[in-house]
Amino acid sequence: MGGDRAPDEIVAGALLASVGRVEPILVGPPELDCGGLEHVIAHDVVGMHEKPVDAVRAKPGSSLVVACRLVAEGKADVVVSAGNTGAVLAASLFTMRRVRGIYRPAIAAPIPAMRGPTVLVDAGANADARPEHLLQFAYMGAVFAEEILAIERPVVRLLSIGEEAEKGNELTRQTHELLAASDLNFVGNVESRRLLDGAADVVVCDGFTGNVALKTIEGTSNTLLNALRSEAERSWRAKLGGLLLRPALRNLRHQLDPDTYGGAYLLGLRGLAVIAHGNSSREAVANAIRYAALGVEHRVVERVAEQMGSRVVASAGPKNPDRMMR
C-alpha cells in the first residue's frame, strides 16, 4: 500500500516479477485484488506524510509493519516498499532489529554512474552520524558492491569538499582517519562533482549529505532533460533535431534512471528491506523485487554480519529462498 501509485502499480509490478524462484507476497486490505499472488491481510496503512516512528508505533496492523514482521519471522526473505522511507526504516528497525555490533542501519543507494553503478551509503537513514558510524557504512557498502554489483575489492571513497585528507568538516576528517586505518580498499576523499564519473565503487557519507547529493543529481538531471525538451520545441530546426535524437535521449534517460536498479537497500538489520521510489511504476516495482531477490541469493545480510564478526541469529537470510514479498 506504499507509494504514490499503490496499490495498482505495486500489484502489477509484483505480477511482472513473479517468475521462477521469485514468489511475491502482497500485504494489504482484504479487498485487494492480488491477481492470484499470495495475499497477507493488513487493515491499516501508513501514509506518506505521517511521522514515521509515531505511525509505525501506532499502527502495528499496517501493511508496512505486517510486511516487515513477515521478514522478521522468517515467513518472507525480504520486504520491498515504495512507501515513506522513514517509516520503512522505523518498521524494519523495530521488527528485524540490528545486526549485533552495528550501531545504525544505513541506506545503500546505487547511483547510475557512467562506468556502471556506484553505491552511496548512507543515502538518508542517519541525518546525524558519527565517524564510527561512517566506518560501518563503508563496510556495508563494500558488501553491497561485492555481492550485488559483483565488484571484487571495491574502491571506497569518502564524500567531502576536497580531495585532500584535511579538507572537509570535523566528521569527514575523523572518518578519513578511521577509513585509512581500516582494511578496506580506501583511496581517499571524492568531491561530489565526480559522483557520476564512477570514481569509486562505494561512496561513504552521513545520511544528510548523501540524501542532498542524491536528490541534487535527480533534480539536475530532470531539470536539464526538461529544459532540453523545451529548447527542442522552440524552432522547426530544433524540433527535427530532437526527433532524430530521441532514441539517444531515451538511452540517456534510461542510463540515469534510478529505477533501473529499482531502489535502495536498507543494510545493518537482521533482515533485508528494499526501498523503492515513491512514484515507482510497475516496471520499477518489478526491478526492485528482482533486485531484492538478488540480495537474498547473495546473502547480503549474513555477509554484513560476518563483517561485524557476528552471526545473524534471528530469522534473517534465505530460509525459504523461493519466496519474496511485498
- The residues binding a second copy (CB under 8 A) are 49, 51, 114, 124, 127-128, 159, 161, 164, 166, 168-170, 172, 191-197, 206-209, 211-213, 215-225, 227-228, 231-232, 234-235, 237-238, 240-249, 251-252, 255-256
132 versus 166: smaller Cβ distance to a second copy:
166
Rounded to whole angstroms, how far apart are CA atoms 299 and 302? 5
In the complex, the smallest distance separating the C-beta of residue 110 from a second copy, rounded to whole angstroms, is: 16
Lateral strand order in the sheet of 202-204: 78-81, 272-275, 264-267, 106-111, 118-121, 202-204, 156-160, 186-191
Shortest Cβ 14–a second copy spacing (Å): 28
Nearer to a second copy, 29 or 198 (CB): 198
161 vs 180, which CB is nearer to a second copy?
Answer: 161
Pairing state between β 272-275 and 264-267: antiparallel
CB of 158 to a second copy, least distance (A): 12
How far is residue 164's CA from residue 187's CA, in Å, rounded to a whole number?
A: 11
Among all chains, which residue has been given the C-alpha cell 531477490? 293
What's the closest the beta carbon of residue 257 comes to a second copy, in angstroms? 13
| Helix residue ranges per DSSP H, the chain | 8-17, 52-58, 63-72, 85-96, 131-147, 170-181, 207-231, 236-256, 282-297, 300-307
- The residue among 40 and 108 lying less far from a second copy, judged by its C-beta, is 108
Q: Report CA dihedral (50, 53, 56, 58) to the nearest 10 degrees.
A: -80
Work out how close the CB of 237 gets to a second copy at its nearest, in angstroms, rounded to a whole number: 5
Q: In the complex, what is the shortest distance from the CB of residue 47 to a second copy, in angstroms, rounded to a whole number?
A: 13
Q: CB of 163: closest distance to a second copy in angstroms?
A: 10
Contacts of 309 (CB under 8 A, 6+ apart): 101
User: How big is the CA angle at 301 (ends 299 and 303), to the nearest 5 degrees?
Assistant: 70
Q: Select 169 or 310, whichever has its Cβ closest to a second copy.
A: 169
> Toward a second copy, which CB reaches closer, 223 or 310?
223
| HSE (side-chain half, CA atoms, 13 Å) at 22 | 26
Nearer to a second copy, 111 or 138 (CB): 111
Contact 264, 92 (CB under 8 A): no
